Structure 1
Amino acid sequence: MSEAQSIPGWRHLYSGKVRDLYASEDPADTRILVVASDRVSAFDFVLSPGIPHKGELLTQLSDWWFDQLSDVPNHLAEGEIPDAVAGRAMLAMALEILPIECVVRGYITGTGWAEYAAHGTVCGIPLPAGLQNGDRLPEPLFTPAYKAPLGEHDENITFERVVELVGAERADQLRDASLSLYRRAAEIAEQKGLILADTKFEFGVDADGILRLADEVLTSDSSRYWDAAAWASGTTPEERMASFDKQIVRDWLATNWDRQGEPPALPADIVEQTADRYRALIGRLTA
């Protein structure tokens, strides 16, 4: 992972797979500067090289979604973004980030499809027989994961485990907020000819105990977007799931890496195709 850059007036706190966090050097300023890098991750590994301008694209898309969902409490704070990271950073409130990745699946694919094909379940939740890869689920599923520390693998967990981690009331809030946000976003995407197949949300709690939507939201990194027309007319999973996300990266890795040791470097054409899909998604959604 590349070293975080120096930003005048800000002190580097932490680097995740994709974002770098900074605290103000002013003790009275409790805001956090969240910088989206060009790094790309898949299967819990940070890959090389990054995707050019990815940080700007993800920030633009997150900002757009936060605006669409402006009635939902979120982590955004007022203030000027430093010139050094303009266009790829946001100012955020200092929150207690909950260690839950709030995954919502509206369609069956990816690891969910692999589990269903083997056991008839997704994250342990029984589903009707006869589903095919890419099918719409009878109802969106809340399938949380434990957000592991950097370098470790996130772990799918049951709702009961969420209750153990954050308490029953907060667990209910996380589930209900995630499902509501997914349904709203899926409806907006549908109006743009897109399917929001699945996504993941993160939440934090502010000093007053208010649950707030945090981190990136509904981006190409945290979500699967498909072309609705292709899904309706396609006969194979590849035709149905014409994606606007980093599925190109996942597919290339699945074919060219056995998940042993460090992943190989991404070819230039895969990098460019991924950037093209990110740009195309923003164009479709914001048109």
Structure 2
Amino acid sequence: MADGSHPTLPGFAHVYSGKVRDLYAPLDDAGEARADRLLLVASDRMSAYDFVLDSPIPDKGAVLTQLSLWWFDQLADLLPHHVVSTDVPDEVAGRSVLVERLDMLPVECVARAYLTGGGLSEYEATGSVSGVALPEGLVDGSRLPEPVFTPSTKAPMGQHDEPIPFEGVVAEIGPELAERVRDLTIAILARGNDVAAERGILLADTKVEFGLRGLDLAPGEDLGEAIRARGAACEIVLADEVLTSDSSRFWPADAWEPGHPQPSYDKQYVRDWLTSAASGWDRHSGETPPALPDEVVAATRDRYVEAYERLTGTPFVPAGR
């Protein structure tokens, strides 16, 4: 729901609404919110350039939820995930999952196999991305010599994430945990590309979310201090969504041609329209972006569904059917 509203779900207490997801806590027999579980609901809201757009994308939440569930299975040998059950209220069936409540790491974990987007802009300005020096002469769409970990800050909603070097991750979560999430992020990207390549798709980059199991945060204890003190002894769990068209860039392999923006199965299509002359919007103006035309909404939905169907090899079935 583009206005930020959320459905009321009997048996659940609304906890938080982000740009595109709503979180609920299941209620126990006494009517109190449980501290160990969350219902993660993916809406059809679309965000771009730190704005929630006025135009939802039909079936987007269901596509992302079902694709994440498929990927969790493909990645199960790398690390555990947070999904407990898909037995959810009918009102949000097909686009929500019951998950384990975790202590989330306070950094954005990003890995890149190709250079584009914000990474390209940073490279053009500094010759590096998140402190990782890259070869000269790379252009938009260039394949990197090897996948790189390019983390960023996790900014509050409405503010921009900023690239940070690996040392910044070490400062946030400690050296051992930083090395583990770096290696896991790159491993997830590599596995994703191995799988996607068989379907004629390139995975340019991806952002993943990790939580910790067993941190046992005390009341009033600072999360960052707890993670640095004992996070290395905890189990890392894959959380949120993974390898979807919202968190990753997918390109058709047969159309890949470095030197310009690539055709995509992700929300880059929306970003490109917003920054085109057709939208009349200046992304640096601070003004809210315009509503998407019906044809852009339909084409965006088609791209999300095509990515799902090409990757999984199964037809997409909208929620409730």
Match of 1:180 in 2: 187
Matching of residues 14-29 of structure 1 within 5 Å: 14-26=16-28, 27=32, 29=34
> Once the 2 structures are TM-superposed, how far is the Cα of residue 79 of structure 1 from its aligned partner?
5.9
Summarize deviations over 1:22-58 as a string: whole Å, max 9, x none: 0011148421000000011111111111101110111
> Once the 2 structures are TM-superposed, how far is the Cα of residue 236 of structure 1 from its aligned partner?
5.2
Matching of residues 190-269 of structure 1 within 5 Å: 190-207=197-214, 209-231=234-256, 234=257, 237-238=260-261, 241-255=262-276, 256=279, 257-259=281-283, 260=285, 261-269=287-295
**1:275 and 2:301 are equivalent in the alignment:** yes
8 Å CA contact 1:44–1:154 kept in 2: the answer is no
TM-score by length of 2: 0.85
Match of 1:153 in 2: 160
8 Å CA contact 1:97–1:203 kept in 2: the answer is yes
Distance 1:282 1:250, change over 3 A: same
Summarize deviations over 1:162-191 as a string: whole Å, max 9, x none: 111111111111101101111111100011
> Once the 2 structures are TM-superposed, how far is the Cα of residue 146 of structure 1 from its aligned partner?
1.2
Q: Partners in 1 of 2:86 and 2:49 — Cα distance?
A: 35
Match of 1:69 in 2: 75
Q: Partners in 2 of 1:58 and 1:168 — Cα distance?
A: 32
Q: Partners in 1 of 2:47 and 2:249 — Cα distance?
A: 14
> Once the 2 structures are TM-superposed, how far is the Cα of residue 16 of structure 1 from its aligned partner?
0.8
8 Å CA contact 2:4–2:17 kept in 1: the answer is no
Q: Percent identity?
A: 54
Amino acid of the structure 2 residue aligned with 1:116 = Y
Q: Partners in 1 of 2:68 and 2:258 — Cα distance?
A: 32
Summarize deviations over 1:93-129 as a string: whole Å, max 9, x none: 0100111110101000111112222332223322111
Matching of residues 52-63 of structure 1 within 5 Å: 52-63=58-69
Amino acid of the structure 1 residue aligned with 2:193 = A
Q: Partners in 2 of 1:17 and 1:63 — Cα distance?
A: 21
Q: Choose from 40, 46, 50 the match for 2:56.
A: 50
Summarize deviations over 1:237-280 as a string: whole Å, max 9, x none: 24xx2211111101011223212121121111111111000011
* Structure 1 counterpart SS, 2:85: coil
Match of 2:227 in 1: none
* Structure 1 counterpart SS, 2:22: strand
8 Å CA contact 2:139–2:258 kept in 1: the answer is no
> Once the 2 structures are TM-superposed, how far is the Cα of residue 211 of structure 1 from its aligned partner?
0.7
**Which deviates further from its counterpart, 109-118 or 60-69?**
109-118
State the aligned residue count.
Answer: 283
> Once the 2 structures are TM-superposed, how far is the Cα of residue 67 of structure 1 from its aligned partner?
1.2
* Structure 1 counterpart SS, 2:275: helix
Amino acid of the structure 1 residue aligned with 2:310 = R
Amino acid of the structure 2 residue aligned with 1:121 = S
Match of 2:146 in 1: 139
Amino acid of the structure 2 residue aligned with 1:67 = D
Which residues of structure 1 form unaligned runs of 5+?
none
TM-score by length of 1: 0.94
CA RMSD of aligned residues (A): 1.5
8 Å CA contact 2:201–2:251 kept in 1: the answer is yes
Q: Choose from 111, 124, 140 the match for 1:104.
A: 111
Amino acid of the structure 2 residue aligned with 1:248 = Y
